[in-house]
Each structure stands twice: as structure tokens, then as C-alpha cells.
Amino acid sequence: MPTPRETLADALLAAGPDAPTLCEGWRTRHLAAHIVLRERRPWTMAGASGGPLADWTERQVQTTGDDAALPDAYAELVGRVAAGPGAILTRLTDGGNVLEFLVHAEDVLRGERVPDAPRLLDDELESRLFRSVSRFGRFTYRRRGVGVIMRVPDGPRAVVVRGAESVVLTGTPVELALHATGRERAALVDVDGPADAVARFTSPADA
């Protein structure tokens, strides 16, 4: 089974430099540029979460990606994704990048499409991804105004946010990861619970 990094690099290489992704405004070459800049020039990601440097960060991604529009340059860029930031740093950081790499792989594999069925991983990787996404969801769902429980069919469940009323998000770890990272329209996730709780969750007041 390929590692999450290998899965991402393979998806990028197979798609080519100009394929659509789930990341608005990014073709595959821009997504590859984002990974390389994040790992090798992390200061360029200062505006990745918004703020006054957001436009500057986006320009770094766009410029680096556009420089790799030709096949040979793109293959070299994806090679840098596959290689990581160096032997020591790659070993130290890849364990914590399971969510990042697998979500971005789905950004490429799905493009602008929603698949007919969820993609499954091996048991060990699904377990690692579920642990990562249940931690990540504490931050992304905390302002939805309801409790949130994540559940994998015939698998684990986790209370992500506590509340008087809760919704239950059901899906594979990959689908839950897409949902928690803002790709709700592309995620095959069922949202269940009391009607008013589901309404608050799907239409948060600060959205």
C-alpha cells in the first residue's frame, strides 16, 4: 500500500499539470506548488489561513505553479513533492501529514467530481486518518452551535464537540476528512440528528 505522500504524488503525476482540483482557483500544478512551498519555503505560507499576507501567499503558489505548466517542469515539481523536504525532515513530519496528503490526493482524484462510492484505505491507514480527523474536527466544528460525533460504519466513533444536542457524521475516514476540511459538497457523509441540530450544523450562524 503506498504511503499518503506516495498516493498524493502518484495522483498529481497521473493527472498532469492542468487538471482541475477541489481547491478553488488551483490546477494540479498549483496544488503541487503549495506542498513544495509549505515544506521547503514555509515562510511563504504565512498567509495560508488568511490575514494580511493571504494575497502574497497566494501569489507565491500561483507563480510557482505557473512556472511548472510544461510537462517536464511539472514532473520535476511533483518529484519534489515525492521526495519531501529531506530524508530526516520527511521521516519526522510525514506521520503528522496523513490528513494533509490524503485530502490533497482526493482534491486531485475527484477534481470537480463527486465519486459514486467512497474510497477505502487499508485498516492501519484508516485508523490513523480517523484519529487525525477527529482531532482536527474539534477546531473546524467548534462554532457550529451543536455537538458533533464522527462515526465510521462498523467502525470507531468519536465525540468531537460536546453539546446539548448533537449531529452524527457518518462516513469513511476519507469522507470525514474531506468534510472536516471544508469540502462538504464533495464528501459522501451522512448528517443525522434532531432536525434543529442538523439545521444549525448545516447553516451555522457565522457561515
3-state secondary structure string across the chain: CCCHHHHHHHHHHHHCCCCECCCCCCEHHHHHHHHHHHHHCHHHHCCCCCCCCHHHHHHHHHHHHHCCCCHHHHHHHHHHHHHCCCHHHHHHHHHHHHHHHHHHHHHHHHCCCCCCCCCCCCHHHHHHHHHHHHHHHHHHCCCCCCEEEEECCCCCEEEEECCCCEEEEECCHHHHHHHHCCCHHHCCCEEECCHHHHHHHHCCCCC
Span between the terminal Cα atoms of the chain, in Å: 38
Is residue 190 within 8 A of residue 153, CB to CB? The reply is no
pLDDT of residue 205: 59
Q: Where are the domains of the chain?
A: 4-110, 123-202
Please list the pLDDT of the chain residue by residue as tens digits (207 residues): 788 999 999 999 999 999 999 999 999 999 999 999 998 998 998 988 889 999 999 999 999 999 999 999 999 999 999 998 875 555 555 567 899 999 999 999 998 777 777 777 889 999 999 999 999 999 999 999 999 999 999 999 999 999 999 999 999 999 999 999 999 999 999 999 999 999 999 986 554
Is residue 140 within 8 A of residue 47, CB to CB? The reply is no
Is the CATH number 3.30.1050.20 carried by domain 123-202?
yes
pLDDT of residue 90: 57
Q: Grid coordinates standing for 18?
A: 492542468
pLDDT of residue 91: 58
User: Residue 166: beta bridge partners?
Assistant: 147
pLDDT of residue 94: 53
